[in-house]
């Protein structure tokens, strides 16, 4: 019988990290920790982008934090490769992805833009820093479309102790 064999990767998901650190626990959510994890996520995304792959479903449940500080991206079910046919795009005409983290271009049906992954990293950084989601948790197409014109509140509104540089990084990812 055919079967799949995959490497076992130790670590916890970013979702577990978020669940274990209440939003008010600023010591556990330090700027240095957020920057370290964010840098590791960016490095992992850059690595797949260098291979002409766009993940398109980055979210805390799909980011594994290894004990050594590196990040492993999981679940490439919605991803696309720049040099191969995008069969999922041909099959689905609506936005595909997790509504909380989906990028504006995905909302209007554009797939394969590497900036979509950067946007999702920005949403995760925002949640790590503030305990809030920059665009809420939309459940309708109209709710998802809000991110086409809505500007999220600056993270320092929720967390004044956050360094200005980290806020700028987060907001740049969400542009």
Q: Report, as residue numbers or ranges, the catalytic residues.
A: 57
Mutual angle of helices 164-173 and 115-130, in 10-degree steps: 140
Cα Rg of the chain, angstroms: 16
Three-class SS state of 54: strand
Instruction: Provide the pairing of β-strand 12-13 with 63-65.
Output: antiparallel
68 by Cβ neighbours in 10 Å (0-12 / 13-18 / 19+) ranks as exposed
Q: Is 71 helix (H, G, I), strand (E, B) or coil?
A: strand
Asked if 13 and 63 count as a contact pair (C-beta separation under 8 A), the reply is: yes
């Amino acid at each position: 019988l055919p079967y799949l064999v995959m490497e076992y990767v130790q670590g916890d998901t970013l979702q577990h990290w978020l669940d274990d650190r209440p939003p008010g626990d600023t010591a556990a959510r330090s700027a240095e920790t957020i920057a370290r994890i964010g840098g590791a996520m960016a490095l992992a995304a850059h690595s797949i982008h260098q291979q002409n792959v766009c993940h398109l479903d980055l979210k805390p449940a799909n980011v594994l934090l290894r004990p050594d500080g590196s990040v492993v991206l999981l679940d490439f079910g919605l991803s696309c490769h720049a040099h191969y046919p995008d069969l999922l795009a041909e099959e689905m005409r609506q936005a595909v992805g997790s509504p909380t983290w989906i990028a504006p271009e995905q909302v209007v049906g554009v797939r394969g833009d590497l900036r979509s992954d950067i946007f999702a990293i920005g949403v995760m950084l925002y949640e790590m820093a503030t305990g809030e989601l920059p665009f809420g948790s939309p459940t309708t197409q109209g709710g998802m479309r809000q991110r086409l014109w809505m500007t999220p509140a600056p993270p320092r509104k929720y967390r004044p102790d956050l360094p200005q540089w980290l806020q700028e990084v987060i907001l740049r990812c969400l542009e």
